[in-house]
Amino acid sequence: KSKRFTRILSIGIGGSALGPQFVAHALGSSSDSMKPYFLDNTDPDGMDLVLGKIGDDLTETLTIVISKSGGTTETRNGMLEAAAAYEKAGLTFEKHTVAITGAGSKLDTIATNGNWLARFPMWDWVGGRTSELSAVGLLPAALQGLDIDGMLEGAARCDEITRSKDSRSNPAALLALAWHHATSGRGRKDMVILPYRDRLQLLSKYLQQLIMESLGKEKDLDGKTVNQGIAVYGNKGTTDQHAYVQQLREGVNNFFATFIEVLRDRGGESIEVEPGFTSGDYLSAFLQGTRRALHENNRESVTITIETLDPQSLGALIALYERAVGFYASLVNINAYHQPGVEAGKKMAAAIIGLQKKALAYLGEHSGTSYSAEEIAKAINEEDNTEYIFKILEHASLNTDHKVKKVPGKTPVESRYEATV
């Protein structure tokens, strides 16, 4: 156990968070070398919750800031919030922090100039959603005390197998072909991820990004509009049998299920919950029973079987899905490795921030006078954005940082707002 650090605070979003969270949950235990925490959003209350859980242990917490470009807004905000928490505790943020980023990025410059503890590389050709087996995922996992060599070994073995040119002996090709068959190659059915193991509960969130960000594309490689993609959701079995499996069996047939089966129940012996039967026997029976119930009602499914959930099998599972995504993209002629839709959302968010600056500046320049959202929009020549200005003012009026007072109207849109001193 580290003499200095006993906690990890990982700050990142998207592929810089989902993979590390998934692996930490899947392989972690009470005997971990360092306990992991994550800031993966720009939600102030959420960050307060995480930092509150760390509490006085902040002095023993190593922060990892992860961003390839170094310009990811949510990650920057998390970094600044964490730095403020360290400062409030009388600690030096830079002496508790390392960066995982691209060479020469904004974050790389900040870490260099601030003399952070260390900097680890993110290669430009590795996308966030396929970065779990790079420093992004391996560093926090190693600090947690997980067997990263085992993960890499499992991934390497899977890579070797999935390079086979014979699709019948290539599991990633078979998986991609199954997706293509189920969705008619047009995303006509959703993918439901059902791992029957609590430790794999975050698999669906991890695969949601990997698959949807990779395959959800408007244009194909020839520039033709195709609107490709496969929607992914899920949680875990048997829990989901008491949630939405009712609809899967008897509702609209717009999905195919993926069952993840783990044969070994636990490390030691199990008690009998009934003569001759363990809890694990029931877990297995519920998986097979649900699979059969869906099949009897013409609901398609794929089953992936793992003997033991360990670093090797988890690394192989990650590699399997990464390769299957690439194969499917080739089948439908799209680029799996860019994300123009994500960039569009970032640009729109920046525009909203600009709109907020204009609206609040106008209020500040006319303090003492109240205005409706419509009046402000007209005054700053943003009539087309009246709805967004209304949302901005509603948010500002409930957060004292902005010093905006709301005077409620008969209806929400008739409310008026004024700057307060």
Please report the pLDDT score of residue 341 as a whole number: 84
Distance CA 401, CA 392 (A): 13
Catalytic: 213?
Answer: yes
pLDDT at 345: 84
In this predicted model, what pLDDT tens digit does every residue of 366-406 receive, in sequence order?
999 999 999 999 999 999 999 999 999 999 999 989 999 99
The CATH code for residues 7-144 is 3.40.50.10490
Let me know if the fold of 7-144 is the same as that of 148-332: yes
CATH topology of domain 341-419: Arc Repressor Mutant, subunit A (1.10.10)
Confidence of residue 1 (pLDDT cuts 50, 70, 90): very low
Catalytic residue among 68, 74, 132, 213: 213
Domain assignments of the chain as residue spans, ordered by start: 7-144, 148-332, 341-419
**Alpha carbon distance 171, 237 (integer Å):** 23
Structure-model confidence comparison of residues 29 and 347, the more confident one: 29
Look up 153 and say whether it is catalytic: no
Candidate list 1, 3, 242, 410, residue with the active-site label: 242
Q: Which of 63, 68, 104 has its CA nearest to residue 87?
A: 63
Percentage of the chain beyond pLDDT 90 is: 94
Instruction: Count CB neighbours of 242 within 10 A.
Output: 9
At 254-309, the pLDDT tens digits run 999 999 999 999 999 999 999 999 999 999 999 999 999 999 999 999 999 999 99
Given this model, what pLDDT does residue 343 score? 80
State pLDDT tens for residues 302-335: 999 999 999 999 999 999 999 999 999 999 999 9
∠ CA 235-239-242, nearest 5°, is 115
Catalytic residue among 338, 346, 357, 405: 346
Give exposure, 220-237, as e/b (b: 16+ Cβ within 10 Å). beeeeebebbbbbbbbbb
- Residue 297 DSSP class: T
Protein fold of 148-332 = Rossmann fold (3.40.50)
Residue 60 has, within 13 A of its CA and on its CB side, a CA count of 15
* ∠ Cα 78 314 4 (to 5°): 45
Please tell me the pTM assigned to this model: 0.92
Q: Measuring CA to CA, which residue among 366, 48, 318, 363 is closest to residue 210?
A: 318
What per-residue confidence (pLDDT) applies to 340?
A: 86
Tell me, yes or no, if 418 is annotated catalytic. Answer: no
Q: How far apart are CA 261 and CA 372, in angstroms?
A: 57
What pLDDT was estimated at residue 346? Answer: 84
Higher pLDDT: 3 or 388? It is 388
Q: What is the pLDDT of residue 3?
A: 58
Name the DSSP class of 413.
G
CA distance 136 to 139: 6
